[in-house]
């Protein structure tokens, strides 16, 4: 399992290029086996999640970034289906509110971080601030930043400061026990087109389709450059990126579940062991209960 995971993992962006990753890659897995493989992965992850919750030493933050129709929502619902919902929290980040614009760009994301022992899932994330704002720099003006009264003033220094802020933010979280897993669901432009057409043709999926999705498709090349740059600048050994092939949804789910499971295993989680005095107290309580 680790072999194919390493192919998807980016810990140093110096030589990273999206063109080196096949959106239809499926490792050695077969579609007919996908359901059984995914079920087994989820069962193993659920068992370790219980240890995460009990130990309350770490938290796990899972980030999903992708172009529209790459399958973020379905990936979340399928890969998290067997986990204890009491230990999970999901946030889907949309356009910032008026209150959020009154704070720095990381504020609303910091507020949504998972507590120790829990899993946080961010559908889109703080990376939107170097993705959609990079493609549509006029959005930065809504932040009312000092010295930025025109998007023409958003030069290389501005974006480097943003990447730096993100790197430092993630380093801080890692030092304090938040393990971050960053997924970029890498879908091809042709596959996105097919999924858009299915949403239009299937009445039960019409609600998923938005005209703005097609408008954003016009900026495909710009978004690919923005994603590549963001991953280059923020992939580290402590907070790696994973480039998940997204043309085959069944493999996307296997890859995500495999990575989450391996991340858990690397933490070497264990149930807390009580001190001798606490164990003695439990024994006393047991004796009282048995005498009732």
Q: Residue 239: what are its φ and ψ, rounded to 5°?
A: -130, 70
Name the pTM for this structure.
0.93
In angstroms, rounded to a whole number, what is the distance separating the alpha carbons of residues 281 and 114?
A: 32
pLDDT in tens, the chain (292 residues): 568 999 999 999 999 999 999 999 999 899 999 999 999 999 999 999 999 999 999 999 999 999 999 999 999 999 988 888 888 999 999 999 999 999 999 999 999 999 999 999 999 999 999 999 999 999 999 999 999 988 888 999 999 999 999 999 999 999 999 999 999 999 999 999 999 999 999 888 888 888 888 899 999 999 999 999 999 999 999 999 999 999 999 999 999 999 999 999 999 998 888 777 888 888 888 888 888 7
Number of C-alpha atoms within 13 angstroms, CB side, residue 281? Answer: 5
Fold (CATH) for 2-291:
Rossmann fold (3.40.50)
Q: How many helices (H) and strands (E) does the chain have?
A: 12, 6
Give the relative orientation of helices 34-55 and 72-79 as an angle to the nearest 10 degrees: 70
CB atoms within 10 A of CB 127: 23
- Listing from the earlier edge strand, what are the strands of the sheet with 88-92? 9-10, 241-245, 178-186, 59-66, 119-123, 88-92
Could you tell me how many residues make up the chain? Answer: 292
Q: Residue 125: what are its φ and ψ, rounded to 5°?
A: -165, -160
């Amino acid at each position: 399992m680790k072999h194919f995971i390493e192919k998807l993992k980016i810990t140093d962006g110096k030589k990273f290029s999206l063109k080196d990753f096949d959106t239809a890659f499926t490792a050695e897995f077969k579609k007919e086996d996908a359901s059984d493989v995914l079920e087994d992965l989820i069962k193993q992850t659920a068992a370790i999640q219980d240890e995460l919750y009990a130990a309350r030493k770490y938290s796990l933050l899972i980030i999903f970034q992708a172009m529209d129709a790459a399958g973020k929502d379905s990936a979340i619902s399928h890969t998290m289906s067997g986990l204890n919902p009491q230990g999970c929290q999901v946030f889907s980040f949309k356009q910032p509110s008026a209150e959020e614009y009154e704070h720095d760009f990381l504020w609303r994301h910091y507020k949504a971080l998972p507590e120790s022992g829990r899993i946080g899932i961010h559908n889109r994330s703080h990376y939107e601030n170097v993705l959609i704002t990079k493609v549509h720099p006029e959005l930065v003006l809504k932040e009312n930043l000092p010295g930025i009264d025109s998007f023409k003033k958003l030069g290389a220094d501005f974006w480097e400061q943003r990447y730096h802020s993100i790197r430092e933010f993630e380093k801080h979280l890692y030092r304090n026990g938040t393990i971050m897993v960053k997924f970029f669901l890498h879908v091809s432009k042709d596959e996105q087109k097919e999924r858009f057409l299915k949403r239009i043709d299937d009445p039960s999926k019409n609600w998923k389709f938005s005209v703005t999705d097609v408008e954003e498709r016009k900026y495909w090349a710009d978004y690919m450059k923005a994603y590549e740059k963001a991953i280059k600048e923020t992939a580290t050994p402590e907070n790696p990126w994973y480039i998940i092939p997204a043309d085959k949804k069944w493999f996307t789910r296997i890859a995500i579940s495999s990575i989450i499971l391996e991340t858990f295993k690397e933490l070497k989680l264990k149930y807390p062991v009580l001190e001798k005095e606490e164990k003695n107290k439990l024994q006393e309580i047991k004796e009282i209960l048995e005498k009732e």
